[in-house]
Structure 1
Amino acid sequence: MADLPILGAALNLKTLETHRDLMLDKQRDLELQDFVMADVLNGDWQPLVDRAKVLLDGHRGRVGIHGPFWGFTIHTRDPDVREIVKRRLLQGLEVCEALGGTHMVVHSPYSTWDYNNLDNSDSSRQEVLEFCHLAMKDAVRRAEDIGCELVIENIEDKDPHARVELARSFGSDAVKVSIDTGHAYYAHGSTGAPPVDYYVKAAGNSLRHVHLQDADGYADRHWALGEGTINWHAVFGALGKLDSNPRLIVELRDHSGLATSIANMAALGLAQ
C-alpha cells in the first residue's frame, strides 16, 4: 500500500471542510473549484483564499485551482474576446499566487469537429497554435514567475496527441498536460477516440495532472471511481510508467463519493 499512488481531490471550500481530515491523512493533493466563475474573479476573492488557508493549516500536499473556462476558448480568433481570455487567465493566476498554488487547469481548444477538419486546410493546425499563444503568452510568463503550471485538460479531444503538441509548443516548464479520464472515455465511446490509457501514453512525462472520474463512455458523468466502466487497471498501469508525478485529482459531481472512490481503488490494489 505504501508504494501505491495517493489520490487527491477537486473540492470547493464547503466540501474541503467536510473532507479535511481525509485530505490531511495522507497529505493529498487538492484542487479548489471556487474560482472558475467570472463573477468570483471580478469580485473580492481574497476572503475565499483566506478561508482556504485556514482549512489547509497543516496540509503539505500540492494545491491548485481549476481555472476559468466558461464562455470562451483559448484559441479564439476574435481579438476583443481574446483580451477577456487573457484577463481571466491572469485573474486565475493571481488566485494561485495568493494560495501558493502550483497548478491551474486550462481547457483544451480542440473539438470533435477539429479532428475531422484540421487537415482540411494547410494552415489550420498552425493557426490553432498561434491563436492559443496570443491568448496565453502573458499567462505563461506569469505562471513561470510564480512557479505555477498551466495544465491543459482534454475536453472533446479525439486526438490525444494534439493537446500534447500544443503544450510543448510553448517551450516552457509552466505549460504541461492534463487528462480527464471521463472526457477521454466519452471521446472513446462516443466519437471513436482511443481508450483512456492511450491518452496517458500520448502525454508521457508531459502529464502533470489527471482528473479521475468514472463514466459510461457516453456522457461526462463524474461518477465515483468504480461506479462506471473505465478500465482502471489499464489507466493506472499507464500512469505507473511515468516519472512526472502527476497530481491525481478525483473530480466528482457528488463530492460525497470521494471516500468511496479512494476505497474502491484501494480494493483493486491501484491507489490509496
Structure 2
Amino acid sequence: MKNSRPTLGVALTLDALERVEGLRDFVFDRDRDLEVQDLVPVGALVEDRWTYTVERARPLLDGHKGRVGIHGPFEGLFIDTPDPEVRAIVQTRLDAALSAAIGLDRGRGLGHIVIHSPYTTWHWYNRGTHYDDTAAILERTHRCLGPAVRRAEDHGLTFVIENCEDKDPAERVALAASFNSPAVRVSLDTGHAHYAHGSTGAPPVDVFVHAAGAALAHVHLQDADGVADRHWQIGKGSIHWHAVFAQLAKLPEMPRLIVELAQIRDIFASAAFLSAAGLAD
C-alpha cells in the first residue's frame, strides 16, 4: 500500500552483523534494507581490497532479500575537486566502490551508494560575492562523477547525494537533477540537517524532506542536538520526528530509511521508539 508504515533499514559493518547479539535476527526477520559501511575507511578500496568485503558478505547475507547498498568513500575525496590529478584518484575510488556495490547487489539493480554533497557553509555565505563558486561546483562535480554515473546506469545502481554542511536544501536536489539520470538521486541525513538548522540557520529537517520531494531516495535516520553530528539513538536528541515522518508520508514513494547510529546496539531502542510513536517498524 502506498505510504504504508515503513520498515526501517540499518547501516552496519559486517563485524556488527556477525557479533552483535540479536542484530542478524532483526535484519533477516523483516528483510530490512542494509547499508554496508566497511568501505568507508581509508584504504578499504585500494588495490581491489573491496573484493574481500564482497566475498565476506556473501555467506553473511545468504537468504537476505532486502536491498543492499554501501556508504561510499568520502574522507579527503571531494566530488568537486578542482585538481585533475586528485580527481583521478577520486574517480578510481568511486569505480572501486561501484564494483563493490555491484557485487553486494547480486545483479538485482537495487543497490545504492552514498556520496557526500560538495556544498559547504563557506560556499553558502559567499554566494553572490567575488568568491561565488556555484557554477564551477556544478561543472566540476559533473566532470568527476560522469564516468561513475554512466557505469551505475548500466547496472541499475543509484548514487545518492547526502547533505553534510548544506544550508540550502534545494542546492543538491538541483545538482542531482542536473545529471538527468536515474542513477543520481538525493539522500538526507537527519542529524546533518539538524546540525545545519541549529548551528548555521538552515531550515528544520522536515523542510529538507519537502525540498527533496520525489528525488529523495535514501534517508539516514539519526538523532542529534542541533549542534554537532551526533548519531545518537533516535529519541535521545531534539529532532521533531513526527514532522519528519509527516513529510515523508507525502512523498510518492517512501525512500529507503537507514538507521545510522554511533552505537549499533542502539538500533533496537531506536526502532522501538519509532514503532511506539506509530512512525515506522
- 1:94 aligns to 2:99 (yes or no): yes
Deviation at 1:72, TM superposition (A): 2.2
Match among 37, 43, 49 for residue 39 of structure 1 = 43
Preserved contact between residue 126 and residue 132 of structure 2 (Cα < 8 Å):
no
Deviations 1:89-146 (A, max 9, x none): 1110010111116100000000011111132259732111100001000110011011
Match of 2:116 in 1: 107
Mapping 1:67-82, distance limit 5 Å = 67-82=72-87
Preserved contact between residue 63 and residue 103 of structure 1 (Cα < 8 Å):
yes
Deviation at 1:159, TM superposition (A): 0.3
Q: Single out whichever of 75-84 and 159-168 deviates more from structure 2.
A: 75-84
Preserved contact between residue 123 and residue 132 of structure 2 (Cα < 8 Å):
no
Distance across 2 between alignment mates of 1:14 and 1:235: 31
Distance across 2 between alignment mates of 1:111 and 1:256: 32
Deviations 1:164-205 (A, max 9, x none): 000000010000000000000000000000000000000000
Distance across 2 between alignment mates of 1:204 and 1:121: 32
- 1:192 aligns to 2:201 (yes or no): yes
Number of residue equivalences = 271
Deviation at 1:15, TM superposition (A): 1.1
Match of 1:265 in 2: 274
Deviation at 1:211, TM superposition (A): 0.3
Amino acid at match of 2:279: L
Q: Single out whichever of 38-47 and 157-166 deviates more from structure 2.
A: 38-47
Match of 1:8 in 2: 9
Distance across 2 between alignment mates of 1:76 and 1:48: 27
Preserved contact between residue 206 and residue 244 of structure 1 (Cα < 8 Å):
no
Mapping 1:228-243, distance limit 5 Å = 228-243=237-252
Preserved contact between residue 6 and residue 254 of structure 2 (Cα < 8 Å):
no
Match of 2:62 in 1: 57
Match among 96, 110, 129 for residue 138 of structure 2 = 129
Distance across 2 between alignment mates of 1:198 and 1:145: 33
Match of 1:175 in 2: 184
* Unmatched segments (≥5 aa) in structure 2: none
Match among 20, 23, 28 for residue 24 of structure 1 = 28
Match of 1:254 in 2: 263
Deviation at 1:6, TM superposition (A): 0.5
Q: Single out whichever of 242-251 and 206-215 deviates more from structure 2.
A: 242-251
Mapping 1:141-156, distance limit 5 Å = 141-156=150-165
Distance across 2 between alignment mates of 1:200 and 1:257: 24
Preserved contact between residue 218 and residue 258 of structure 2 (Cα < 8 Å):
yes
SS at match of 1:119: coil
Deviation at 1:219, TM superposition (A): 0.5
Distance across 1 between alignment mates of 2:8 and 2:64: 14
- 1:48 aligns to 2:43 (yes or no): no
Distance across 2 between alignment mates of 1:20 and 1:48: 17
Match of 1:209 in 2: 218
Cα RMSD between the aligned structures? Answer: 1.4
- 1:166 aligns to 2:172 (yes or no): no
Preserved contact between residue 168 and residue 175 of structure 1 (Cα < 8 Å):
yes
Distance across 2 between alignment mates of 1:121 and 1:140: 32
Residues 1:97 and 1:161: Cα distance change in structure 2 (over 3 Å): same
Distance across 2 between alignment mates of 1:122 and 1:157: 17
- 1:84 aligns to 2:89 (yes or no): yes
Calculate percent identity across the aligned residue pairs.
Answer: 55
Distance across 2 between alignment mates of 1:121 and 1:132: 21
Distance across 1 between alignment mates of 2:42 and 2:230: 24
